[in-house]
Amino acid sequence: MTKKQRALGLLIVLFPFVAFFVSLSIGVVHIPLDGVLKSLLSPIFPSLKQGLPENYLGIVLGVRLPRLLLALLAGAGLSVSGASLQALSKNPLVNEYILGISSGAAFGASLSIVIFRQSFPPQISAFVFAVAAVMIVLLISRNSDSPIVSLLLTGIIVSAFFSALLSLVEFFASPYALQGLFYWLMGNLGWPGWGALSISLPLTAVGTAGLILMRWRMNVLSMSDEEARSLGVNIRREKLMVIFLATLVTAAVTSVAGIIGWVGLIVPHLVRMMVGVDNRRVVPLSAAMGAGYLILADDLARGLASSFEIPVGIFTSLIGIPFFILLLRKSKRIWL
Amino acid sequence: MKKRLFVLVFPALLAGLASPSVLSTAQSGDLTVKDSLDRTVVIPAKVKRIVSIQSEITRLIVALGAGDDLVGIDYTMRLHDHLFKHIYPEESRLPLVSMAENNVNLETVVSLKPDIIFASPFERQIVDAIQRKTRIPVVALASLGDVSKLADEMRLVGRILGRERRAEELSAYFTGAVGLVRERLKDVPRDKRPRVYMSFWGFLTRTPIHYDPVEIAAGLNLAEKIIPDVLGSVGTMVKIEQIILWDPDLILVHGNYLPKERTVTVESVLKDSRLASLSSVRSKRVFYTFGFWNWWDIAEVLLETEYLAHLFHPDRFPEFDLGRRGDAIYKKFYGLDDGFAKLSAILRCDEWVHD
């Protein structure tokens, strides 16, 4: 690891922390830094509430904090999932949604929004169908001679199938339900409250931590199967574990934030371009970079327009793709 | 996909729509009209068989007393409209000719031999294609939330269907009642007009950027024109922080959803801890209103305008009673004694006004 790579790695680690605390001060309502800090600490030290304007607590604790925590963990989780699946499949084009998770989640949400209404919340329905889509992919591709190719192809097929089901539900949906679904599919970090996050965030954190802990094995899994076996690795078990954790993370994020594209594809590549291809560094740094990246994208989503809000999924693509193209042209190669 | 596109395109329609009008009448009696897409359409003198895949126009046709001339309607009207089966019980005999409004089964349409098709002004190419393939004149109309256009639309449809007198009677009733509200409230100074936030279309943060009934009822829409006019949108997503910053005097929640469909309710707004600092929440000034639903229903628009006028300025409309006035308006437009009572039972309007 060169000196430059080390410095870049340190910057990447600091990026989400700086972004998180700076972003707590960003919003339509101007809240000075001491107001933000007092509001944050007030649940522990109730005396700090004294003298604070009434709406500060609601904005910092009820609006900004859950949103930023979700951005932090969702960005980290999606990026780590993407990096892990790319290493596992030895394919740089793989992303966290390749196994049908997004289509499954979208279909699940559509069933809830259009048919079941409040009796089956979209978050739960999206999670259930995201996991179901991956299970179907795994079941279909389990006995193939070339498991990874089969896995990716099956993922594409299952995605297409759930997309068709989604179109069918959309076709029969009432105009109201269709609008709700449309906005859900665009991705938004601002809607989930503490109730939804209390389930989603721990699942995302556990899955992300699990993948980071497996970073040593990713290097082995990205070798050929024969090489990996010769090193004494139980390939099937390890791969299933990576897929399980990536699914858990992506489904947990998608179920509350909708589909936020490109994070898991772009971020790991950016990290590889900066610090090299060793997964022991790429996986944890992808978490840091992804967290900061999604916070930044969300800052733009809620900061660019003064009053109205633009879905964050639009910005993850708008920022990431040109930046990615720029780096790609500079480095003239795809890293894996 | 087309339907998803509709959701995108629909808000952008308002800015680009033309004002429909009659251009000329031929000696044969054929009528030449300009529709909302600025298309020139020639309509036969006698229109006796109508296909309507535009909900707003379907309701107007029934109000004009031409319901029996309908020979085909769309899926949305049958399955998603709250009141249509009550205002026009014979609707069950009508074949469905489209699923989503532009997914028209052209063979079914042709087999019904209509003299005219009323459609929504989504996209000129689609409307032109329907006309070209069926060889039946297609008129694309929508008022899109503009109260004055709604009255004009009533007259134009009346002219096309040869029901000018009834159309004149209803549009005069509508314009007169709206004018009365305006007249009673015209001297309300700006600082006495309630600053209103509307949570519409199933989201706390989704709101119309212009809403005629609020403006006529002398309320101030806090989200008025927060998106540049050039984008032509009717609604947008705002930030929760922006709602907190606005601190509205009153919050209106879209009540045209069936109670089981409502994802935002008066209760959920009142209980939302993020909104606890709002004066409207603390004083429980959170109410349902009808809201733009599956295009407009002319009777409902009038009722909503008067309801909001009473809600915003009770001292100027002390005599208003939602149930009684609703029944009178629905009787006028649809000839039903219990039209509003039925709608009220479906939407539970009796629970809307609370202290």
pLDDT in tens, chain A (336 residues): 788 888 999 999 999 999 999 999 888 888 888 899 999 999 899 888 888 887 888 899 988 999 999 999 999 999 999 999 988 888 877 887 888 888 898 899 888 888 876 677 788 888 899 889 989 998 998 877 777 788 889 999 999 999 999 988 887 777 667 777 877 777 788 878 788 888 889 999 999 999 999 998 888 888 877 887 888 888 888 888 998 999 999 989 988 888 888 899 889 988 998 888 899 999 999 999 999 999 999 998 877 666 777 888 888 888 878 877 877 777 666 555
Give pLDDT, residue A176: 67
Distances (CA, A) of B181 to B148, B184, B219, B287, B302: 14, 5, 12, 20, 10
Q: Do B263 and A118 touch (CB under 8 A)?
A: yes
- Domain positions in chain B: 2-177, 187-351
Q: Do A171 and B3 touch (CB under 8 A)?
A: yes
Q: Is B199 on the interface with A (CB under 8 A)?
A: no
Q: Is B195 on the interface with A (CB under 8 A)?
A: no
Give pLDDT, residue B3: 47
Q: B187-351 falls under which CATH superfamily? A: Nitrogenase molybdenum iron protein domain (3.40.50.1980)
Q: Minimal Cα–Cα distance from A53 to chain B, Å?
A: 10
Sequence-distant (≥ 6) Cβ neighbours of residue B68 within 8 angstroms:
B90
Residues of chain A numbered 168-187 and touching chain B (CB < 8 Å): 170-180, 182-183
- Domain positions in chain A: 3-331
- Tell me the β-bridge partners of B34: B21, B40
Residues of A in contact with B6 (CB under 8 A): 178
- Among partner residues B76, B226, B293, which is closest to A308 by beta-carbon distance? B226
Residues of A in contact with B257 (CB under 8 A): 176
- Among partner residues A117, A179, A306, which is closest to B260 by beta-carbon distance? A117
Comparing B2-177 with B187-351, is the CATH topology the same?
yes
Protein fold of A3-331: ABC transporter involved in vitamin B12 uptake, BtuC (1.10.3470)
Give pLDDT, residue B231: 52
Give pLDDT, residue A333: 60
Q: Minimal Cα–Cα distance from A151 to chain B, Å?
A: 27
pLDDT in tens, chain B (355 residues): 444 444 444 444 444 567 787 777 777 778 999 998 889 999 999 999 999 999 999 999 999 999 999 999 988 888 888 889 999 999 989 999 987 656 788 899 999 999 999 998 877 888 898 999 999 999 999 887 788 889 999 999 999 999 999 999 999 999 999 999 999 999 999 999 999 999 998 889 999 988 999 999 999 999 997 876 555 567 888 989 999 999 999 999 999 988 888 889 999 999 998 899 999 999 999 999 999 878 889 999 999 999 999 999 999 999 999 999 999 999 999 998 988 999 999 999 988 875 4
Q: Does domain B2-177 have CATH number 1.10.3760.10?
A: no
Give pLDDT, residue B48: 94
Q: Minimal Cα–Cα distance from B43 to chain A, Å?
A: 30
